[in-house]
Chains A and B, each alone.
Chain A
Amino acid sequence: MRRVVLWIALVVTALLLQSVVFAKFQLGGAKPELIALLTIVVASLEGPAAGALAGFFGGIAEDFLLNQPKGITALTLTLVGYAVGMISQYTTTSTPLIPVVLVAGGTAVAVIFSQLVGFLLGQTGVTFFYVVRVALLTAAYNALLTPIVYPLVRRLMEGSKSQRVFRL
């Protein structure tokens, strides 16, 4: 229950920051994808099941605020959360660069995949070159934010773990 409340709070905060604060602080004309960033961080900390769940519910919340068919972001982030969780499970090195690389790669794939699904549904308007450019810029922005977001989410996740009491 505490995990659910924490995830709702994180998603709402991310949506507010992305639409109000980061709309003013863009990197080469691109905003970060904070829900994708949170999904990837949760997936790398908690594994594929938690990553997929976080991606689905974070994605559907973002979908509800977009002027496109609902479900595209949910589908994208479910798959990205699962994939990143699986990759993290099989990553043996513990260098602090790993989360940054996962966030950058996962974000770029998420942006391109969601635009591809949108294109298949007739959501045209931007060129493929523009999609790739935004994907790279968003990936770079998310990677820059990872050193702040990753330890913060890790601490919050650890703090929200249910305390089990064993009586002898």
Chain B
Amino acid sequence: MAVTRRANRSTRLLVVTLVVASLVIITVDYRQGNSGIFESMGRATASIVSPMQAAVSRVFRPIGSFFSGLGHIGSLESENRRLRDEVERLKAESGSFQDVERQREVLLATLNTKLRLNLTKTVGANVIAASISNFEWTITLDRGEHDGVRALQPVVTADGLVGHVLSVYPTTCTVQLIIDPRSAVGGRLAATGETGLVVGQRNKDLKMELVPPDAEVPPGEQVVTSGYQGGLYPPGLPIGAVSHVYTDPASLTKVIQVRPAVDFASLEFVLIVTGASPGVPYVAPSASPSPQPAPSASGSATP
């Protein structure tokens, strides 16, 4: 009885110690921000884990093909079984060829984007992991400090803006996606030139705020980065297209919902813009006869 009581007391003491240790870590890290000892320990942990993530990602990708190929084992039992396995094998081969072809198309489209958007210095990167949290919208790329990647550099795909580099490690980096609720991008309506702030809404459409109340916004209009001076993003990078416009009943301001140009669920290959790029004025695919407002290299008005 006395032994049990003593064990309970030591367990309680252990828990109190661990809780106090957690509270100290939270307080110290919160006060020190991005330069404290725990941030450094986090960077060290990420530097160790990221290469493992890259390795697991490389292994995990062909696993689907492996499982489809398992159907071939023991295919000599009967003619029927053999033929069925043959069909499965051909399907698997066809699938892998399609995968290679799809990857080639993604790379070509990304290269075209680089040329079209006048992105002078870029580094291509593969997506190796997503955030471990359900409340952070970030991805990990297989490029880091050794490849010239630095924090706050923009990341794009052939379809448009992905986000910006949040943290950099020797061989990998973490990118905050524009769908993260903590992300805000200066945006501009391609046709009218009205500017606003495009805020992440998780997996829902983005929200463009601070738009002048009298702005004309037709559904489907393209939204691009405004590229204001001192901002992270060069002008003209496609963000998405207007999907819905409404007035916020609380603030009586106009709110624009923007469907992202990038499919964030299937990101594989991206470009990190490592050097200052002048960008280009965005021209919508279905060019309208009215002239597009052309921002200068220094960008348009700050929203």
Q: Residues of A with Cβ closer than 8 Å to B?
A: 12, 15-21, 23, 29-31, 33, 47-49, 52-53, 55-56, 59-72, 74-75, 78-79, 82, 111, 115, 117-118, 121, 124-126, 130-131, 134, 138
Cα–Cα, bound, A47→B15 (Å): 12
Q: Mark B8-21, 1 if CB is under 8 A from A, else 0.
A: 00110011001101
Known contacts A21-B56, A126-B181, A134-B135, A69 near B29 by CB under 8 Å: yes
Number of A-B contacts (CB under 8 A): 133
Interface of B is mostly: helix
Known contacts A12-B49, A52-B11, A66-B133, A21 near B60 by CB under 8 Å: yes
Is B46's CB under 8 angstroms from A65's CB? yes
Is B134's CB under 8 angstroms from A61's CB? no
Partner of B132, one of A48, A65, A72, A79: A65
Known contacts A19-B140, A56-B21, A49 near B57 by CB under 8 Å: no
Interfacial chain A residues near B269, Cβ < 8 Å:
none
**CB under 8 Å from chain A, chain B span 18-77:** 18-19, 21-26, 29-30, 38-39, 41-42, 45-46, 49, 52-53, 56-57, 60
Partner of A56, one of B18, B182, B202, B203: B18
Q: Cβ of B221 < 8 Å from any Cβ of A?
A: no
Q: Which residue of A lies closest to B138 (CB)?
A: A67
Interfacial chain B residues near A31, Cβ < 8 Å:
132, 134
Is A67's CB under 8 angstroms from B132's CB? no
Cα–Cα, bound, A53→B14 (Å): 8
Q: Cβ of B136 < 8 Å from any Cβ of A?
A: yes
Q: Mark B63-99, 1 if CB is under 8 A from A, else 0.
A: 0000000000000000000000000000000000000
Partner of A82, one of B15, B26, B41, B42: B15
